[in-house]
Structure 1
Amino acid sequence: MSSANNKRTVIVGIFTFLAIVILIAGIFTLAGQQKRLISTIAVTAIFDDVAGLRTGNNVWFSGVKIGTIKSINLYGDSQVEVTMSIEEKVQEYIRKNAVARISSESFIGNKNIVIDGGTQSAAPIQDGDRITAVSPLNTDDLMEKLQQNNENLVAITSDFKQITSRLVRGEGTIGAILTDSVMADNLRAMVANLQQTSRRTVAASNELSRFTSKLNSKDGLANQIATDTVVYSRLRSSMAELNEATTAAAAMMETLESTSKQLNNQNNAVGVLLSDQQFARQLQRTMQNLETSSQKFDQNMEALQSNILFRGFFRRQAKEEEKLKEQQQQAQPDTLNQQ
């Protein structure tokens, strides 16, 4: 009996020892996960809403777990103070102007706190410091907005369904275009005309560009007028002379108009000559009578030359004329010799 009892005692002792070892290993494991055996500092943050954050949840920095949530307590009227236990070795990387925000491991996973390190110009955090907190996105608000967007999407889909059904039935302008072949042909013709007009516009623009480049040529008249003061002054003087000529022409036209009015006036001699037919006939008869009288006078002179009484007079006159001609002929050679 004694040997059996000893054997049982040894077995119980072995199992007890293994249980103690397992317990100690579990304690060390849990303590390692909870950072119980690592030097830490306490940092707090004030949130308006922690959105289901719990004690023991993780604290992350740049994707690395650096601590856990130590405690969650109400603060003030409606805020929440969260105390974080952060490893002392990462203290130098987190600055006093760091920002803490609540995030999720997944869409419906555990909540945790993510710390943005701040700027290098700020000092590192110390034990007991408080950093700025950013309120998390409320899942209920997000779901409400998603529901509103879903309802709007349903309404848009319904409206689009009505529009497409009207288009299929040929209602409205676009429906008529889609179903009416004549209107479609007219639309294609209009588009072709617009394309042709666009090509013509481009061609006209190119021609205008070439014309302006010619105007900007150094040898062109436009460039000389714009840059050469001599050409500009000559052109200005020419325009002044042209203006004077235009003024003189206008005055001459006024004079001609006044003269023509005077010519058409029957109160003066020229007007009577131009407009009075009776006076013209009288003047014509007078000229005919003068011509007849001159013919008769010539006949009378011939008759006087043949008359005995006047024959001597006409002979002497003829001799004097011949003598005058001879003197003139003699005077011409003497003049030529002197030259």
Structure 2
Amino acid sequence: MEKTTSQKLRLGLFVIIGLLLFILAVYFIGDKQQMFGKTNKLSAVFNNVSGLQLGNNVRYSGINVGTVRGIAMINDTAIRVDMLIDKTIFPHIRKNAIATIGSDGLVGNMIINIIPGKEIAASILPGDEIRTLNRIRSDDMLNTLGKTNKNAALLTADLLKITKEINQGTGTVGLLIKDSMLAKDLKLTMLYLKITGKGSSESMIKLNRLISSLENKDNVIGVLKDTAVANNLKAIVRNLKQTSTEIDKIISRVDTTIVNIKDGKGAINYLSNDPKLVHKIDSTMTNINDASFRLNENLEALKHNFLFRGYFRKQEKAKMKERKKEEQQK
């Protein structure tokens, strides 16, 4: 059946609209994937790309600046990733920038993040290779989380065991909780410790006051710190030292004299060691005493003699006059 003109127009209009939508879709998708813009190549080598695919975004400081255009295995520990980066971004990327692989959100696609360097460096050139940083993968995190869960389960079991023993009153902690007498003793001990601590604090305060009082010049330590007293003490010590030296000299001389006496030198040793001389001296003293006694007897006899009686009376009168004068003068 032959189509009418209106149908042909509708079909042509539908085809044109569909073609325009297709062109717009290709344009937007290509613009998003940096297919029609001016781009340059940039490379990076990773140990693990963590599920990165062709067409994933490349971000610099959180801004989409390119896409992944190639992933190639270099060896068993190195994977080369080629990126197409907007030319206008190249002057902002420095040679000390670092590329890392992350995810777009918690469950989003994998992306490459280029982190700016902290120090000033030259701009990167097309075709250069930048440094990379391999972050912890989600598999490693899950493995670590699994180990942590196992450890948490073991800790929970031990905690339940300890709690059960405490409730049953076994062990030190259970005994402290269940035994009321022990709790009272513990309270009493803490009270005594508190009292002791208070006494120690007061003792320390008194000790600090005592140490501060030592700086006062009215006490012994303060007097000793006085420079004048210190000089006087130095002079006293110096005089004592000189006196000690003189005493040493005298003692040495006395020692010499004693040695001379022991060796038979001098009159003292002669007197002390010669018995004949001592006997003669005793006899002489006895004779002197006898002569003195006889002389007194002779003087008494002369007093009674008529020839010398007048003389002695004159002497007695003269002595009486002198005594009276002395008594009058007093």
Would you say same fold, with TM above 0.5? yes
Residue 214 of structure 1: aligned partner: 213
TM-score using structure 2 length: 0.72
1:151-162 counterparts in 2 under 5 A? Answer: 151-162=150-161
Structure 2 residue 50 is matched with structure 1 residue 25:
no
Secondary structure of 2:41 counterpart: strand
Structure 2 residue 329 is matched with structure 1 residue 330:
no
Structure 2 residue 124 is matched with structure 1 residue 125:
yes
Residue 281 of structure 1: aligned partner: none
Secondary structure of 2:101 counterpart: strand
Contact (CA 8 Å) 1:95, 1:119: kept in 2 or not? no
Structure 2 residue 138 is matched with structure 1 residue 139:
yes
> 1:329 deviation in Å?
3.7
Contact (CA 8 Å) 2:217, 2:226: kept in 1 or not? no
Residue 305 of structure 1: aligned partner: none
Deviates more, 1:164-173 or 1:75-84: 75-84
Q: Which runs of 5+ in 2 are unaligned?
A: 244-303, 305-311
1:226-245 counterparts in 2 under 5 A? Answer: 226=225, 228=227, 230-231=229-230, 234=233, 237=236
Distance 2:225 2:205 in 1: 23
Superimposed CA distance per residue, residues 177-201 of structure 1 (whole angstroms, 9 cap, x where no aligned partner): 1111111111111111111111111
Superimposed CA distance per residue, residues 165-222 of structure 1 (whole angstroms, 9 cap, x where no aligned partner): 1111111122111111111111111111111111111111110100000112345431
Contact (CA 8 Å) 1:50, 1:136: kept in 2 or not? no
Residue 60 of structure 1: aligned partner: 59
> 1:76 deviation in Å?
3.1
Contact (CA 8 Å) 2:72, 2:79: kept in 1 or not? yes
Superimposed CA distance per residue, residues 276-311 of structure 1 (whole angstroms, 9 cap, x where no aligned partner): xxxxxxxxxxxxxxxxxxxxxxxxxxxxxxxxxxxx
Distance 2:239 2:189 in 1: 52
> 1:336 deviation in Å?
6.0
Distance 2:18 2:107 in 1: 37
Q: CA, structure 1 residues 231+88, in 2 after alignment: closer, same or farther (shift >3 Å)?
A: same
Q: Which runs of 5+ in 1 are unaligned?
A: 245-312, 314-320
Residue 201 of structure 1: aligned partner: 200
Distance 1:128 1:30 in 2: 25
Q: How many residues align?
A: 265
> 1:164 deviation in Å?
1.1
Secondary structure of 1:191 counterpart: helix
Distance 2:157 2:236 in 1: 79
TM-score using structure 1 length: 0.70
Residue 6 of structure 1: aligned partner: 5
Identical positions, percent: 27
Secondary structure of 1:216 counterpart: coil
Q: Which amino acid aligns with 1:43?
A: L
Distance 1:172 1:46 in 2: 59
Superimposed CA distance per residue, residues 14-62 of structure 1 (whole angstroms, 9 cap, x where no aligned partner): 1111111111111111111111122112110000000101111111122
Q: Which amino acid aligns with 1:67?
A: G
Residue 101 of structure 2: aligned partner: 102
CA RMSD of aligned residues (A): 3.2
Contact (CA 8 Å) 2:72, 2:81: kept in 1 or not? yes
Structure 2 residue 85 is matched with structure 1 residue 93:
no
Q: CA, structure 1 residues 51+229, in 2 after alignment: closer, same or farther (shift >3 Å)?
A: farther
Q: CA, structure 1 residues 218+75, in 2 after alignment: closer, same or farther (shift >3 Å)?
A: farther
Q: CA, structure 1 residues 57+195, in 2 after alignment: closer, same or farther (shift >3 Å)?
A: same
